[in-house]
């Protein structure tokens, strides 16, 4: 049975038309990502969240490796709540630079956990599609840092026809958009290509149409360092040329890492959603 991930949600202020599913970085909580998205504003001093009043925002929270502490009574509010311990991470990061063999071994050790997370996130996507009356094209999937990488692997594996209990009429369709900010993957592209994470075992005869036909916006930042930019460009080239994604919009900024460039990055995101999905600001 596929578990339900904890969700931090922001309901739409108007009639629900779209949903954004956005994943946090490693060692961060979903609520921190909400704050980061609010702190980056456009030219009118509005965050990307504030620009879309009819959009539901969903922030899945990956569990930590440590259990919750027992419920405590807050002195200031008098409300009982559980305290989360540990650092939530989509996968265990490498401690030091690894050679290709060590990287491959570490990745295979993580495969079961990564597969479980992908299935949990696919469940979140399907629930949002149902809320939107079956409109896959009104769901935007994305994330920041490791969350962007986790979201991308989830998107790639939506095309996996070996998923149990899915009829032909229930096959996933291309999403409205994918937005990756400072996307980080659990291993290098060459190592990942040898695993089902980027090459699902079974896809439709026409190929991975969900991935190919979902427009993508990738934002990367020069102040993240040279190796970080190299990894981002390698991902861009993989998506454009090896994976055959039809629309990969690549944006580079001098600063903003590890969060979001303001105001240009926010304006670029708005322009992308307007061009690819006809999403209009409705504040």
Which CATH number characterizes residue 101's domain? Answer: 3.40.50.1820
| Residue 203 located in a structural domain | yes
Least confident of 165-179, 216-230, 232-246, 252-266: 165-179
* pLDDT beyond 70 at 207: no
Structural domain includes residue 147 = yes
Q: What is the pLDDT of residue 258?
A: 82
Instruction: Please check the confidence at residue 264 and state whether its pLDDT lies above 70.
Output: yes
Residue 72 lies in a domain: no
Confidence (pLDDT) at 100: 65
Residue 206's pLDDT is 55
Question: By the 8 A CB rule, do 89 and 146 touch?
Answer: yes
Average pLDDT, the chain: 87
* pLDDT tens profile 75-119: 444 444 444 556 889 998 876 656 666 889 999 999 999 999 999
15-32 average pLDDT score: 95
Do the domain assignments include residue 180? yes
Structure confidence at residue 79 (pLDDT)? 44
In angstroms, the CA 235 to CA 188 distance is 9
User: Are the C-beta atoms of 85 and 69 separated by less than 8 Å?
Assistant: yes
Task: Establish if 84 belongs to a structural domain.
Answer: no
- Quickly count helices (H) and strands (E) in the chain: 7, 9
Domains held by the chain: number:
1
Domain assignment of residue 237, yes or no: yes
Indicate whether 141 belongs to any domain: yes
In a domain, 2, yes or no: no
Q: Residue 43's domain spans which residues?
A: 7-62+89-277
Which of 69, 72, 62 minimizes the C-alpha distance to 85? 69
pLDDT score, position 80: 44
Other beta carbons within 10 angstroms of residue 92's beta carbon come to: 13
């Amino acid at each position: 049975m596929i578990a339900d991930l904890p969700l931090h949600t922001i309901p739409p202020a108007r009639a629900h038309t779209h949903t954004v599913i956005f994943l946090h970085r490693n060692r961060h909580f979903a609520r921190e990502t909400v704050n980061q998205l609010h702190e980056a504003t456009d030219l009118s001093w509005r965050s990307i969240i504030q620009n879309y009043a009819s959009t539901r925002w969903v922030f899945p929270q990956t569990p930590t490796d440590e259990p919750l502490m027992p419920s405590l009574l807050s002195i200031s509010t008098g409300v009982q709540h559980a305290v989360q311990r540990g650092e939530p991470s989509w996968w265990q990061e490498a401690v030091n630079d690894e050679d290709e063999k060590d990287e491959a071994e570490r990745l295979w050790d993580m495969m079961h956990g990564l597969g479980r997370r992908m299935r949990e996130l696919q469940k979140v996507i399907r629930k949002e599609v149902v809320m939107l009356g079956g409109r896959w094209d009104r769901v935007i999937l994305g994330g920041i840092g490791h969350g962007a990488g986790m979201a991308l692997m989830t998107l790639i594996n939506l095309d996996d026809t070996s998923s149990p209990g899915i009829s032909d009429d229930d096959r996933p369709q291309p999403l409205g958009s994918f937005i990756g900010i400072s996307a980080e993957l659990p291993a290098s592209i060459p190592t990942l290509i040898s695993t089902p994470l980027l090459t699902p075992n079974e896809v439709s005869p026409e190929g991975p149409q969900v991935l190919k036909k979902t427009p993508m916006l990738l934002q990367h930042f020069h102040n993240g360092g040279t190796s970080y930019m190299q990894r981002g460009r390698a991902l861009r080239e993989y998506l454009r040329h090896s994976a055959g994604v039809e629309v990969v919009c690549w944006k580079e900024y001098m600063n903003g890492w590890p969060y979001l460039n303001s105001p240009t990055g926010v304006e670029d995101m708005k322009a992308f959603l307007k061009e690819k999905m006809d999403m209009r600001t409705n504040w």
